[in-house]
Chains A and B, each alone.
Chain A
Amino acid sequence: MGSTLFEKIWRDHQIREVADSEYLLHIDRNFLHEISGAVSLKAIDEAKRPVRNPNLTFATIDHLVDTEPGRGMTSKIPGGIDFMRELSARVGPHSIRFFDLNSPDQGIVHVIAAELGLVLPGTTFVCGDSHTCTVGGIGAFGWGIGSTDSEHVLVTQTLLQSRPRTMFVKFDGTLPSGVFAKDMILALIGRHSASGGSGCALEFGGPAVRQLTVEGRLTLCNMAVEFGARTGIVAPDDATYAYLFDRPFAPSGHNWDAAVAYWRSLPSDPDAVFDAQLAIDVSQLAPQVTWGTSPEHVIGVDGNVPNPAIIQETVSRRSAEQALAYSGLSPGQPIIGLPIQAAFIGSCTNARIEDLRLAARWLRGRQIARGVRAICTPGSNAIKRAAEAEGLHRIFLDAGFEWRESGCSFCMSGGAGGEAFAPGARVVTSTNRNFVGRQGPGVRSHLASPATVAASAVMGRITDVRAAGAH
C-alpha cells in the first residue's frame, strides 16, 4: 500500500515514538510574531533556556501594529506596544532573523513565509497563529500552536504530536467566472460544518485545485482551520516549483535540483488510502457569503438566510438562532442586496497581489457607495510595493478605499480594542473569521472573496460579482 503526502512528510520528520501513538516530530521552521513570540521568548529567557536552532527561527511584527499610512512602531490596541517592544528586545540576543517594521520584507507571517521562500514543500512549519495552515498551499505541513508549544519548539526544535487522521477533499470541475478559491473553501465548510474536518490532516486535490495558482492554494489552505482541521495541504507540482524558484530563502544551485527531486517524490501514491474522503463539484458553485457568526454559516450569494426552526437538534438550533440574532437577519431573507456600511480587503486569507489585482478589476473607474468605509491592507510590504508599481493603489484610492500599510489590521484590531468598524456595522470582508465581535463590538462580518468585497463596496450592498461586471 502506498503513502499519502501527509504520511510521507510525517515519516521524514518522526524522530521517535515517545509513548503509545505519541511522536516527537522535527520542526523545520518556527515563526514568531509579537503576541505569542513575546510570551514564549520571555518564558524561555526567564527559564534561562537557549534557542536550539536560531537559524530555523524567524520573527516579524504583524498582529498589533497600526496600519495607517506612514505608521511607525505604534499600536492603537491597548497594551499592544508592550508585545511589540518585548519581541523586538528579545529576538536579538538569540540571533533570530527578525523582519521588523523597517524591513522591506515585513508582512503577515503566513504571507511572507511563502513569498520569501521560507516555507518549502515537505517541511514542517509552525507559528503561534491558527492560520499557519496557510503554508499548506506550498505543500508543507503547517499548523498553529499555543505559546507553551512555541517555547517547546524554541528549546527543542521538536513537538510532541499524535498522528491525525487523514482526509482527502477532492474538488471536481472547473470554477465558473466570478468564483474563486475562497468560495471553494467556504462552500466546503458550509456543506460539512466548521468541525467537518475535526483534527484531520486534509489534502486538497482534484482538477479544480490543480487549476488554482499557488496564491489561490494558499487561500484554500488558510481556512482549513475553520473546517476544524489540524492542517490542509496541496501536493506540490510544477506551479509550486516555478513559484519558489529564486526566492530569497529557497534553495539554489545543486541544492535546488536535489530539493525538486525530493519534492517530486512527495505527492500521494495512487494506491494511498485516506481515513476519510469528501468530494465537491465546483462547476455550478455560486460566489459564497456568510450570514452568521461561524464560517459554516454560509450560502451562495443568490441564496436565502436559512431558517433555524428546521434544525431538529436543540443545541444546533439555538446556536443558529443566536447567530441570526447577532447578524440582525431574518429567516428566508435573501442575502443579496443587503446594505453594507464597510468593506475590508486584507488578512492572511486574501491580501496577496492576485487578490488586489482581482479587486481592482471591479474598482477601476468606479467609486464606492456613499456611506461605505472601505479599507485595503496589503498582506506584506513587498505586495504593497508591487501593487504601487503597477498603479493598483491609485485604483483603490480613486475608488474611495483607504490604502494601508501591511499587517493583520482590522482582522485583529477590532476584537482587541483597537481600530474597529462602527458598532453594529455590516462589513463585507475578505478575511477568514466572522466571529462575534471579531472586527469590533457588534460588528457583523460577512466573509467573501475579494471580488465580492470590491463589487459590494461599489454597490453599497451585498452583490453578485457575476452580474456586476469587471473591467
Chain B
Amino acid sequence: MLTPFTRFTGIAAPLLRNNIDTDQIIPGRELMKVQKEGFGKGLFAGLRYQVGGAENPDFVLNQEPFRKAQVLIAGENFGCGSSRETAAWALRDFGFRCLIAPSFGAIFTSNCFRTGLLPISLEPQVVQAIAAELDDHGHLIAVDLQAGVLEVASTFAFQIPPLQREMLLRGLDAVDFTLTFETDIGDFQARDRVARPWVYLSAICSRLSRKII
C-alpha cells in the first residue's frame, strides 16, 4: 500500500538539462544496499557533492529554497538509461513527489508510478513556460492530480494514463490489484499451454550434447 497522492503545493527545483540518466540520478556506488529505502543522500551524488563529500554549492539542490523541493523540472529524456528503481526511490526519499519534463525514460516512468511519484510529461515549450513562471513566483507550484492541473501563476493541464492515475490517487499496490484477476491468469495459461506448449518448460532440461555457441 502506497500513500495516496493528494493535492499539494511545494517548491519546484529546475534541473534543465537533457538526458539526465539514472546513473546520474543515483550512481551505482550509492545503490549497493539490498533494501528499498534510505537512498536520499545518494541522490544526484555526482552533481551534488564534490570529491571528498562536501556539498557542491553550484548544484541547485544545495541552494535555498530548493533543499526542500518537492517538484523537479527537468529536460528531455529524464531518467533514461539503467532500469534501477533506486533512481525513483532516491528522488522519493529526498522528498520529491512530482517530476515535470518534456519526456522520461520508459522504464523510469513505470518505476515512478510504482514508487508513488508522479511523472508529468508536457511539451518542451510548456515546461519552459512553467520554469519561467516559477522564477517569478517564489518557485511554488500546486500539483492537483485529481483535477489534472498544475498551478503557478497560470494553470497548466496534464494527462496521466487512467489506471496509473487511479492507483496513485488510491495508493493501490499493483500486485494486490492484479491478484484480483487470478482467474483470468489461470484461464489464459490453461489455453496457452495448448496453443504454445513449448513456452511452458518442464522442471528438467536435457542439456547434454546440445549446442551452446
Contacts and interface: CB of A to CB of B under 8 A. Distances in A.
Interface of A: 12, 15-16, 18-22, 24, 26, 28, 35-36, 38-39, 42-43, 49, 52-53, 55-56, 77-80, 82-83, 86, 95, 97, 105, 115-116, 120, 122-123, 128-130, 132, 143-149, 151-152, 155-158, 160, 162, 164, 193-195, 198-199, 225-226, 228-230, 246-249, 251, 255-256, 258-259, 262, 293-294, 296, 313-316, 318-319, 322, 353, 382-383, 385-386, 412, 415-417, 433, 435-438, 441
13 contacts: A18-B177, A24-B178, A24-B181, A55-B203, A145-B83, A157-B185, A195-B76, A195-B103, A226-B80, A247-B211, A294-B19, A435-B21, A435-B24
Interface in B116-153: 124, 128
Most chain B Cβ neighbours within 10 Å, of A157, A160, A229? A160
A417 B163 contact: no
Given A22-B162, A156-B185, A318-B17, A437 B23 contact: yes
Interface of B: 16-19, 21, 23-24, 27-29, 31-36, 46, 51, 75-77, 80-85, 88, 103, 105-107, 109-111, 114-115, 124, 128, 161-164, 166, 174-175, 177-179, 181-182, 184-185, 188-189, 192, 195-203, 205-207, 210-213
A146 B85 contact: yes
B205 A194 contact: no
A128 B36 CA distance: 14
A42 B33 CA distance: 12
A80 B32 contact: yes
Contacts of B23: 415, 433, 435-438
B29 A15 contact: no
A255 B197 contact: yes
A157 B19 CA distance: 32
Contacts of A22: 161-164
Contacts of B178: 18, 24, 152, 156, 158, 160
Nearest to A260: B198
A228 B103 CA distance: 10
A128 B179 CA distance: 21
Contact of B106 (A158, A229, A436): A229
A126 B60 CA distance: 36
A139 to B, nearest CB: 14
B174 A160 contact: yes
B210 A248 contact: yes
B199 A120 contact: yes
B103 A248 contact: no
Contact of B188 (A15, A86, A116, A318): A15
A417 B207 contact: no
A315 B28 contact: no
A128 B205 CA distance: 24
A195 B80 contact: yes
A256 B124 CA distance: 50
Contact of B17 (A12, A116, A128, A315): A315
A36 B85 contact: yes
Nearest to A292: B19
Nearest to A147: B85
A174 to B, nearest CB: 27
A416 B28 contact: yes
- Nearest 7 A-B pairs (CB), nearest first? A79-B32, A416-B28, A417-B29, A146-B85, A251-B198, A19-B163, A146-B111
Contacts of B106: 143, 164, 198-199, 225, 228-230
